[in-house]
Chains A and B, each alone.
Chain A
Amino acid sequence: MNTALRVVRWLIIALAVLVSLFPFYWVLRTSLAPADQVFFNGISLFPDRIDLGNFARAWTQGGLGQAVLVGALVTGRILVLQLITCIPAAYVLAKVRLRWTGVVLALVLGCVLVPSQVTLVPTFIGINAAGLADTMAGLIVPFLTSAFGIFLLRQQMTAIPEALLEATRVDGLGHVRTLTRVVVPMAAPGIAAFSVFSVFTHWNEYLWPLLVARTPSLRTPPLALAVFQQADAGFDYSALAAGAVIVTAPVVLLFLFAQRQFVQGMSGAEVPG
């Protein structure tokens, strides 16, 4: 009875792992296969030889090379801006008690709940009017701060013992030095988790670049891939698969190397072990 249950449990786990991983395996396999071995009929689960030319075609013809550069620049700049804006704001909302901090905190929490598509149309009109449509700045500026980031970092900073901050105040350190010398080091795990979340979100962002980036040289990786699929690639599935691998790999690697921060950033909770 117990053994039977255990077998069933492991069968379910094995099936779930298979279903989870199969699409990743499939895209990797297709990206390495010669173009004539793409479809399933008449071919095995493994290609009989490996063709790296698919990646070259995706990189140049598919525009993924340029897109990866744009993606890295956009994602990196958004991350820096969000850290600069969110960390001080989170500190003030967590550790400074003034008449207005309660109201501002409520406002930030409210903004976490507003879905991005509600702001989509007016933000686009505004970015257009400011002459930022089809520019790198237009891809970055709307994300210069993150209500979710402020919320997440504030949670982390609230946990810093008040006594520690009292000590720095006795030493005569102002807010800025308290922030840089005590709060930032103490909140480092939360900052790391938010950074991973931010990179993940903005590397994968599709809807906003689809709206703003008209010039091919401004396409972000997901957008370049979508365009490649819709028009340029035709039936070059292996190059398209190589493109999909190029777009996916950085985030998957980020996840594999920073799983703990990733989970904390996505679920707002820590996972032990």
Chain B
Amino acid sequence: MTATAQQAVNRDDAATHAASPSFLDRHPGFVPALLIAPAAVGIVLFVVVPTILSAVGSLFSIPLAGGAWRFVGFANFQRILTDPMVLQAMGNTIVYSLMTIVPSLVIGLGLALLADRAGRAKPLVRTALFLPMTANLVAMAVVFRWMFAYQGGFVNELLGWFGIGAVNWLGDPHTSLLTVALVGVWRTSSLTMMIFFAGLATVPVSIDEATRAEGIRGLTKLVKVTLPIMRPTVVFACVIAVLTSVQVFDTINVMTQGGPLGSSETLLTMVWKLGFSYYDLGAASALSLLLLLALLGLGILQRRVLAGGNR
């Protein structure tokens, strides 16, 4: 490279260096936009667009292999809302949620209150009670399947010691949903307990002292003082309990596959079955959209109910 050429390059460098600050000064949003771009692309591609497509797709017949979508109007909704299997799954989801949400919240709160006063054993008790929440659901479903096995399962052996006959927990349509719900409570209680435990830590010590001075104790204190103070925690725990219950999938997929006779089929396992066993992607979209609408409805309802006391 000749000397003049080198000079020219240097001059170019200087020119770009002089120009770049002024460009950035004129466009203060440029660097922030660059910083946010990767996340924005991810969110648009994998949340926004799929959500819109799910809403639109529920009105179409979609071939799995690719190819043209065919507009069918509300036929998908009509099909799922008249399908006894789907209706059974909806009913099961409601029953499952009733069996898991309230018990998980009550047990979680109760254990958090008890463990909070466990003195020096507190960290140990806390660790032990948090453990179910960390467990891999598939692995635990495998374990619970043996524990609830009809022959030789731990639970039936235990009942046998008390003279109670063996129950076909997972094989009987009357008990399969209950059994999966027990596992749900085992796990979700641990999760809500963790949330309540974190919430209790935010209650100021002065409140404890004040209520003691006033002679407010036990349940009265809990309902009138502690719970109102940690309302954001209560709301969060409710939301999490509802979401984990309504969206149950892993445990059912491993423990019962929705059976016997569809007795433990829930919305999400049904979405799966419609979409990827029957290849009816339009119906699967329609059902997942109904689930979203139900969750949104519940969210509004929950906010109303929880806000009710204060407004």
- Give the residues in chain B near A270, CB-CB below 8 Å: 198, 201
The verdict on A52 contacting chain B, using a C-beta distance below 8 Å, is no
- 19 intermolecular pairs with C-beta atoms under 8 Å apart: A27-B139, A85-B38, A88-B39, A89-B35, A89-B40, A98-B32, A115-B295, A122-B50, A128-B66, A150-B39, A174-B24, A176-B31, A210-B253, A221-B136, A222-B136, A225-B142, A243-B139, A248-B140, A267-B194
Alpha-carbon separation in the docked complex, A104 to B130 (Å) = 35
Residue of chain A at shortest CB distance from B134: A255
**Given A225-B139, A266-B133; 17 other pairs, CB 8 A cutoff:** A9-B117, A17-B129, A20-B131, A38-B146, A40-B153, A84-B38, A89-B39, A118-B292, A121-B271, A145-B38, A145-B46, A200-B134, A226-B253, A252-B134, A263-B197, A268-B236, A269-B201
Chain A residues with a Cβ under 8 A of chain B: 9, 12-13, 16-17, 19-21, 23-24, 26-27, 30, 38-41, 84-86, 88-89, 91-93, 96, 98-101, 104, 107-108, 111, 113-115, 117-126, 128-129, 141-145, 147, 150, 174-176, 179, 200, 203-204, 206-207, 210-211, 221-223, 225-226, 229, 237, 240-241, 243-245, 247-248, 251-252, 254-256, 259, 262-263, 266-273
Give Cα distance in the complex from A23 to B255, angstroms. Answer: 15
Q: Are A98 and B47 in contact (CB under 8 A)?
A: no
B95 on interface, CB distance cutoff 8 Å: no
Contact A93-B134, Cβ < 8 Å, known A207-B250, A225-B139: no
Among A99, A121, A126, A255, the one with the most B-chain Cβ atoms within 10 Å of its Cβ is: A121
Asked whether any CB of chain A lies closer than 8 Å to the CB of B195, the reply is: yes
* Contact yes or no, B195 A144, CB < 8 A: no
Bound: A117/B143 CA distance, A: 26
Q: A13-B125, A247-B136 are in contact. Are A266 and B48 (CB under 8 A)?
A: no
With A23-B143, A93-B36, A117-B247 as contacts: A222 and B54 at CB distance below 8 Å: no
Q: Does B81 sit at the interface, judged by CB under 8 A?
A: no
Interface range on chain B (Cβ under 8 Å from partner): 35 or more
Contact with A along B102-126 (1 / 0, CB 8 A): 0000000011001101100011010
